[in-house]
Structures are given as structure tokens and as C-alpha cells.
Amino acid sequence: MNPNNSGRPTNSAYRPHGGVRGAEFPPRSSLFEGRFGRMFRTLPAARFSVGALQALAKIGNMTAEHEDQPTSEDEIDNEENTGTPDNPGIAAGYTYLGQFIDHDLTFDPASSLQSKNDPEALVDFRTPRFDLDCVYGRGPDDQPYLYADDGLHMHLGRKVTGSSFDPNTRDVPRNTPNPGEPARALIGDPRNDENTIVSQLQATMLRFHNRVADFLTQPDGQTPKFEDVQQVVRWHYQWIVLHDFLPTIIGKETLYDVLPQLKPEVQHISHFTPHLKFYKWNKEPFIPVEFSVAAYRFGHSMVRPIYRLNTTLKERQVIFPDPNGDLTNSLTGFRAFPEDRAVDWTLFFPIEDRPATGKTRVQASYKIDSSLVNPLGTLPPSVAKDIPSLAERNLRRSLTMELPSGQAVACLMGLPIIPDDQLLVGKANADDAAKNTRLIDISTEFRNNAPLWYYILAEAQQAVQHAAQKLPKNPSEPDKAAVNTIPTRLGPVGGRIVGEVFVGLMFGDSHSYLRQYPNWQPIPAFCRNGHFGIAELILQAKQWI
Ligand code: HEM
């Protein structure tokens, strides 16, 4: 535990008026779950045959040349950062922050992939709030095994090694199974142990909670209430969602259009007035299926096939093993991964100055485009059983949820519709753009009728595609490199859905800082140059030993 807690302001300094209305009565029972619903109720369901969706999924799951890279460290030393699938605008850690946020908001373990579903009859097993229920579970009364005996701190797991950035890296807590059984994570959402990276992000959040608990402890030893610590943690996390994650993924322009008060020039906020043009609810916010089944699944295209976890491991790690199932250098979760696999976060987020190339560089996420890396085409049985292709699952889920087409949504939003001959399938880079297949060449069913998830990915790659189309017939290497450095973020349809749902959910939560305390700011001692983002949260979490 961090003993250095001298000079702390009173606990109430980070909360308005010494306490927050309702904070003493945290949500219970039915409020631990939420509802699904529709955002575009008036639009008809897009129809496709399963065969057409399978053909699209197959082409979208391309094996890029880059994925055949060796994992040997000797070869990495010579590696240049020229991997064309890299997204220069988004570091690799945001993929897993995105997955972590998803697990905080939505969980649909019940809907069918074979027959139609009525979203309004489905239960979301997560609260539609940025309340970290994936960390806190249903609270200390219901899940006491997640909490330390003092009723204030969260349990953590064993120490793991290999990160020169943080020698005190911890695993999530795990059970002690019978011989031969996997050690399962004891955490608020089992999916946060799905791979080593998201699992260590969960452990980092647990440490951040403990760090806040110690920071708010007074010099005389007076400890804060658990609920107060939880609220400070949640508000810092909400701040990151609005000020770091969203601008990175949807861009500042769309974000400021949805929530103008976030503009840096706004000094004082008496109350937030979001511009929610399409996401509306009556009594309680809900998760729209257009978000959970299409727009927010954009993150699947950001997943890299191979990651360097730290600089001491000799081998890099593949996201999932080959079908032979050798887990030696794999990030496959739902088990206690080998002890030397501590994630060095400086290789995943811009925390420190790093060279652009070489083994200490910050790895980039893959571009948001209409291709997924090959390992996601054959998910291991621990992740998905009947249909192993993630692209196919996403597409078939949109069919059984009766989502509208991408073109129908763009039209309703008053946006220009991407013409059929501009809807390409594949990787967004100078070499591949020319070879990409047109969607309508996969099946004529897709004529002016693209699955929403696909359309949102295709929209994101438009900037690269247009630049690639302007290249001369035999482009020079510098010309190609210039195209490959164009970042991809969500476009007007995808960005608007994600932006409105995030802002709408936070605004609809009467416990969020947007509603309770619009002028709230992160703890100054936690900021660097006045900024608080995921990098600063990691630096604080690291201080809890
Ligand atoms: C290695 C990384 C990942 C893997 C293996 C993975 C795998 C999966 C699987 C198997 C499903 C269930 C699919 C279905 O049956 O419909 C799913 C759902 C989902 N994924 Fe991912 N995912 C990953 C990363 C991400 C990221 C980075 C994001 C977003 C930034 C994301 C967003 C979602 C969403 C929104 C759902 C629907 C959740 C629900 O409502 O139940 N995933 N993912």
C-alpha cells in the first residue's frame, strides 16, 4: 500500500458540498442491469441471405502480409515501423480500453444467432452507465470476495514480471482450482479476462481504486467511505471516456458537435446541454442495438494479431493461437497466464517519449477499416463455440436483430450516402486499396444495402481510400508512405452513433459527474500539464504497491 498520503485535503474536496445526493444509496437489484432498444425505430430491417453475409465475412477476414511477421526478438530489432495496417492516430492500448468500456456497458449473453430477436425483450446484463460495474460487480454486499477485508480496497492477484516500466504489476485475483483446471479471474465481468491485455487493464483499474482510497486517507489515518472512493474513481474514468477515448475514436469535431461544452475555450459550465439528434429515451437510457451490434463493434478491426507485451520477453505474443491450440506465446485468457507476461503500458499508450521505431516504440492499433485480422476468423472455443468467425457473428447478429442498412441510417441522418462503387472490402492502405473487392461484387444483395457494421467500417476508411485513388499508376515509396500515415477514425455515421450514445448514457445517469457537478475536474495531483487521461490514470495506479 502506498504510505505516502500526507497533506491530503479532506475527502469532500473532490465531491460537491461534502457529499452527493443519492451516493449513500447506490443502485441495487434490478438497477444492476439495463435494457436494449432501437435508435432508428422507423427504419426497416435490412434483409440478406446468410450465404451473402458469410461471403462478406470471409473476405473481410483477410490475412495481411504483416501478420506473417516472425515473433523472434532478433528480427524485431531490425523491424521498421512501416506496417501499413498501423493506425498512426490511435495507439494499441485504446483497442483494449475500448473493449473494457464495452464490457462496462453491454452484455447480451442471451440473444439468438439463428432466429430474430426483439431488442426490447432482451436484458442487458450490464448497467447502461459508466459506473465500472465490470470492476465493482454488484457491490461488496453481494460479491464480497472481490473486496479486501477493510471494506475499502479491492483485491488484487499475484505479482507478474517483465515490465521495466512497472516492476509491481499485478494480475487480477484468481481462484485456486483443482489440478488441471484453469485459474479463473474473480472479477466483476468474466469477459475482462478474455485476453492478457484487457485482463491487466482490469487489474490497473483495481489498483487505481486502491490508489484513490489511500490518497483520500487523512494523515491522522481517517479513512474515506467506500462509496466516496468509488465515486471519485468513476468520475475520473468518465473524464477519460469524454476527454481522451472519445476524441481519439470519433474525432473532436463530432464530439464537440454532440457536447459543445467540451470545447477547450469553455471556462465555466453551469449545465451540460448535449445535442442528441438521434438517441432519445423516455424514462431511462437504454443500449441501442445499432450501437452494440454495429457501431461499437468497430473495435474488432483495431485488433492486431501480434503484440509485444514488454521489452524483456524474448517472443512477441499472438492474440489467439493457431488451430493446433499451442498457448505458449498466446494472449488467450480465462486462465492464469505465465508470470513473465506483465504488460508494459508504455508500449501501448503514449505515456513517455518513445522512438517511432524499434522495440520500445508505442505500438499502434490497426486501422479502423473493413478487415479483421486472421485470428479473429477462428476464435478459440473458450471465446465462441458454434460460429468461430467474429466477422460472421457480427453480421449475423445484425440480421437477427433486424438492423437497418448503413445507407438507410446515413439517409435518415441527412448525410451523403457512399455510392456502391466506393464501398470496398479490405485493408485501407496504399497497396491494398487498389486491390480491394467492391461490396456489390461479393453479392448483388448488397446493392444500396450494406450491413450497418460493415458500412461504418467502410466509411472510416474513406479518407485513405480517396488518397490512394489519387496516387499515380506507379507511385513512389514516399507517396505510398504518405497515404499510409493517414489516420482512420469513425466517420459521420459511426462517430455520431458512438458519440451520441456515450454522451447520452452519461447525461442520463443522474450519478455521473456531468449531472452532479458539471464543473468537476480530476484531482490536480493526478494531472500532468493540466491533463488527465488514461496515461495519467496508469501512472497513478502504478503508485499503489
Ligand atoms: C481481442 C479482442 C476482442 C475479441 C476477441 C472480441 C470478441 C467478441 C465476441 C466473441 C463477441 C460476441 C459476438 C457475438 O456473438 O455477437 C463480442 C461482442 C462485442 N464486442 Fe468484442 N472482442 C474484442 C474486442 C472488442 C473491442 C476492442 C470492442 C470495441 C472497442 C469490442 C466491442 C464489442 C461489442 C460492443 C460487442 C457486443 C457486446 C454485447 O452486447 O454483448 N470488442 N466481442
Distance 98 CA to ligand 1 centre (A): 10
What letter would DSSP give residue 1?
A: -
Q: How long is the chain? A: 545
Given a contact cutoff of 8 angstroms between Cβ atoms, the answer to whether 162 and 309 are in contact is yes
Ligand 1 atom 1, closest CA: 303
Whole-angstrom Cα distance, residue 50 to residue 492?
A: 28
Please write down the long-range contacts of 357-360, taking CB distance under 8 Å and 24 or more positions apart.
Answer: 357/79, 357/80, 357/81, 358/77, 358/79, 358/81, 359/73, 359/76, 359/77, 359/79, 359/308, 359/311, 360/311
What is the distance in A from the centroid of ligand 1 to the CA of 144? 28
Domain spans, the chain? 11-175+195-541
- CB of 103 sitting under 6 A from ligand 1: no
Mean pLDDT on 355-365: 92
pLDDT digits (tens, 9 = 90+) for 219-244: 999 999 999 999 999 999 999 999 99
pLDDT at 525 over 60: yes
State the CB neighbour count (10 A cutoff) for residue 55. Answer: 18
Q: What cell does 454 get?
A: 460493415
211 Cα–ligand 1 center, Å: 29
What is the C-alpha separation between 318 and 327, in angstroms, rounded?
9
> Tens digits of per-residue pLDDT, 124-183?
778 889 999 999 998 888 899 999 999 999 999 999 999 999 999 999 999 998 998 999
Is it the case that residue 66 has pLDDT exceeding 70? no
CATH of domain 11-175+195-541: 1.10.640
> Dihedral angle at the C-alpha atoms of 441, 445, 450, 452, nearest 10 degrees?
-130
Q: Which residues contact 192 (CB under 8 A, 6 or more apart)?
A: 100, 103, 134, 172, 185, 198, 199, 201, 202
Mutate to test the pocket of ligand 1, among 111, 193, 246, 300 (most ligand atoms within 8 A of CB): 300
Asked whether the CA dihedral 18, 22, 28, 30 is positive or negative, the reply is negative
Count the neighbouring beta carbons within 10 Å of the beta carbon of residue 66: 18
Residue ID of nearest Cα to ligand 1 atom 15: 393
Q: Quick one: which atom of ligand 1 is closest to the CA of 319?
A: 1
Q: What is the pLDDT of residue 99?
A: 97
Contacts of 109 by beta carbon, 8 Å cutoff, 6+ apart = 125
pLDDT value for 220? 95
| Pairwise CA distance, residues 492 & 250, whole Å | 9
Does residue 191 have its Cβ closer than 6 Å to ligand 1?
no
For 233-276, write each residue's pLDDT tens digit.
999 999 999 999 999 999 999 999 999 999 999 988 888 999 99
Amino acid at 392: E
pLDDT, position 77? 39
Strands 317-318 and 306-307: antiparallel
What pLDDT score does 406 carry? Answer: 98
Report which ligand 1 atom has the smallest distance to the Cα of 249.
Answer: 30
Kindly give the residue spans of alpha helices, DSSP state H, lying in 292-348: none
488 pocket-lining for ligand 1 (C-beta < 6 Å): no
Residues 284-301, mean pLDDT to the nearest whole number: 96
Give the pLDDT confidence score for residue 473 in this predicted structure: 87
Tell me the backbone φ, ψ of residue 438, rounded to 5 degrees: -75, 140
Ligand 1 close to Cβ of residue 102 (< 6 A): yes
Can you give the pLDDT at residue 8?
45
- Residue with grid cell 515473433, as numbered in its chain: 71
Mean pLDDT of all residues in the chain? 88
The set of cell numbers assigned to 383 is: 471465446
Grid coordinates in use for 110?
Answer: 442471451
pLDDT for res 3: 34
Tell me what pLDDT residue 31 has.
52
**pLDDT tens track for 457-476:** 999 999 999 999 999 988 99
**Closest ligand 1 atom number to CA of residue 195:** 1
Cβ pair 505, 128 in contact under 8 A: yes
Ligand 1 atom with minimal separation from the 98 CA = 30
Residue 370, pLDDT > 50, answer: yes
> Tens digits of per-residue pLDDT, 2-29?
333 333 444 444 443 333 323 333 333 3
Cite the beta strand spans of 38-100 per DSSP E.
Answer: 86-91
Q: Is the dihedral of CA 304, 309, 310, 315 positive or negative?
A: negative
Nearest Cα to Cα of residue 316 among 359, 372, 365? 359
Query: In sequence order, what are the residues at sequence separation of 6 or more whose Cβ sits closer than 8 angstroms to the Cβ of residue 317?
Result: 71, 196, 306, 307, 308, 309, 329, 330, 331, 341
**pLDDT at position 258:** 98
Q: Distance (Å, rounded) from C-alpha 17 to C-alpha 511?
A: 15
Ligand 1 in contact with 195 (CB < 6 A)? Answer: yes
Q: How confident is the model at residue 62 (pLDDT cuts 50, 70, 90)?
A: low
Q: How confident is the model at residue 75 (pLDDT cuts 50, 70, 90)?
A: very low
Cα 21 to Cα 542: distance, rounded to the nearest angstrom? 32
Is any atom of ligand 1 closer than 6 Å to the C-beta of 440? no
Q: Is the CB of 393 under 6 A from ligand 1?
A: yes
* Bigger pLDDT: 531 vs 382: 531
Three-state secondary structure of 416-480: CCCCHHHCEECCCCHHHHCCCEEHHHHCHHHCCCCEHHHHHHHHHCHHHHHHHHCCCCCCCHHHH
Q: What SS3 class is residue 255?
A: helix
Q: Whose CA is nearest to atom 13 of ligand 1?
A: 393
Residue 130 C-alpha cell reads as 459508466
The 10 Å Cβ neighbour count of residue 520 is: 18
Q: How confident is the model at residue 63 (pLDDT cuts 50, 70, 90)?
A: very low
The pLDDT of residue 71 is 46
**For 342-359, what is the mean pLDDT?**
95
State the alpha helices, DSSP H only, in 352-405: 390-400
